[in-house]
Amino acid sequence: MGVRRDAEPSPLRAGVVHTGLSFLVFGGIAAAVAGVIHLIGDPSSAGPRRTLALFDTQTETGDPQLKTRL
């Protein structure tokens, strides 16, 4: 009766599995931190806010001022 011994896992497979698990763990931690910041963060402490005017609301008064030529 022979003794059966399982082969050792390949180093490439072990590296791929550990890399995938580390991305999964650190991605989950980053997503949890981002979710907490999103839920309890203060919007007023975010970066500066700029408002862009898409349409000109000023009324035109007379002819536009053109640059004078030399």
Ordered per-residue pLDDT tens for the chain, 70 residues? 678 888 888 999 999 999 999 999 999 999 999 999 999 988 887 778 777 777 766 666 677 677 787 6
Q: Which amino acid is at 56?
A: D
Q: Residue 45 half-sphere exposure, CB side, CA atoms within 13 Å? A: 5
Rg (CA), the chain: 31
